[in-house]
Amino acid sequence: MAAPLVTGGRVMAEPAVTDRARRIRAKNRALLIVLVGLVALFYAIAMARMGG
């Protein structure tokens, strides 16, 4: 059994920390996809306006 982790004076079980980190990474990836999509959309709109 893994030893508990101490963070900021609080003792947390290791699975809870890894589960939280996994959720944060998933949110960050989703945000990255949205931001890249917006950049691509703005770029396509700008190219269409300049080319037309």
Would you list the domain boundaries of the chain?
5-51
Residue 16: what residue type?
A
Neighbours of 2 (CB within 10 A): 7
Looking from the CA of 40 toward its CB, the CA atoms found within 13 Å total 6
What pLDDT, on the 0 to 100 scale, is given for residue 52?
Answer: 62
Please list the alpha-helical segments (H only) found in 1-52.
14-51
What pLDDT, on the 0 to 100 scale, is given for residue 11?
Answer: 62
- Residues 14 and 5 sit within 8 Å (Cβ to Cβ): yes
Residues 13-41: pLDDT tens digits?
566 679 999 999 999 999 999 999 999 99
- Enter the tokens of residue 49: 């306006």
SS3 17: helix
pTM recorded for the entire structure: 0.62
